[in-house]
Structure 1
Amino acid sequence: MTHTLVQDEAAIRALFTSLVEGMRERSPARVVARYADDAVTFTLAPPLLNAGLDARDPEAVAGWMAGFDGPITIEHRDLSVAVSGDLAFVHGLRRLAAVPVGYPEGFSMWTRITVGLARRDGQWLITHEHQSVPFYMDGSFLAATDLEP
């Protein structure tokens, strides 16, 4: 089947929409369904690296989600999608907003994301994901979670 760049970009953007919906619905299975079997992720939460099953374990995602009350909101902004054949690269900004269990108020913070994807059996899957938060270089080394685009 021949794919156009427009179709590929639309399919990749739909994958990101599915992530947003999976988080809103608190559906770990929907969230991890977008990852390849051999995915490698560098998330905000420890450990430094997740690979294979650890990068797409619905039980781990469910455990992370259990740390929040109410909705978990994800928003993407300024996503840049580049496609070449069966490989794609996306980078942009992601906002995470939620209320941690036991806290009276929630938080909202913008992070940076870089995602590598591969088309496998006709479906785009995430093979690499890197999330990061800048930190202040003023000697405090505090995460710069107050930044906004």
Structure 2
Amino acid sequence: MTAQHEVDEGRIRQQIDKIVEGIRAKDLKALERLYAEDVVSFDVEPPLQHVGIAAKMKNWTNVFTFFEEVDYEVRDLTITVGGDVAFGHCFGRLSGTLKNGTATSGMWVRATFCFRKAGDDWLIAHDQVSVPLDMASGKGVVDLHP
């Protein structure tokens, strides 16, 4: 790995940390700064794809309307850096206290992030969140742990 790739990987890891901080603070403006304007998101919530920063922020707004307090945890983050693109994958878990006062430990999901370099910043150009599928029932499996 070159010295520049090490610097870039560090910056990308900082971006992931900022996602966690933004979620915990329920700070849409902080989250918005992390995404490319033309981001394409394959999130767990319908439809199949969410295109553009406004659609991505609507997803986060929906999350924040359900939670009074929200937490996010990232495990096993792996990043691969190229010249002006990079990708990473990890496990993530959204948890917290719902608006009705119910505490939830959430569920673990698989997350993939694709980054595009813009100046010195690395912005998320694509993300995907998923859960494994039980083929027999056709339902998502949400009780797995890393």
TM over 0.5: yes
CA contact (8 A) 2:42 2:127 kept: yes
Matches of 2:134 and 2:62 in 1, distance apart? 30
SS of alignment partner, residue 103 of structure 2: coil
Distance (Å, rounded) in 2 between the aligned partners of 1:82 and 1:116: 10
1:40: which partner in 2?
Answer: 40
Residue aligning to 1:148: 145
Structure 1 unaligned spans of 5+: none
Which of these residues, 53, 76, 79, is aligned with residue 77 of structure 2?
A: 79
Deviating beyond 6 angstroms after TM superposition, the runs of 4 or more aligned structure 1 residues are none
Deviation, structure 1 residue 55: 3.7
Corresponding residue for residue 122 of structure 2: 124
How do residues 1-149 of structure 1 correspond to structure 2 at under 5 angstroms?
A: 4-57=4-57, 60-70=59-69, 72-102=70-100, 104-137=102-135, 139-149=136-146
Q: Deviations over 1:75-106 (max 9, x none)?
A: 11111111110110111211111333336331
Number of residue pairs the alignment of both structures matches: 145
Q: Distance in 1 between matches of 2:124 and 2:73?
A: 18
CA contact (8 A) 2:39 2:124 kept: yes
Report the CA distance between 1:51 and its aligned residue: 0.8
| Cα root mean square deviation, aligned | 1.9
TM-score by length of 2: 0.89
Q: TM-score, normalised by structure 1?
A: 0.87
The letter of the residue matching 1:19 is I
Identity of aligned residues (%): 33
8 Å contact from structure 2 (residues 36, 53) kept in 1: no
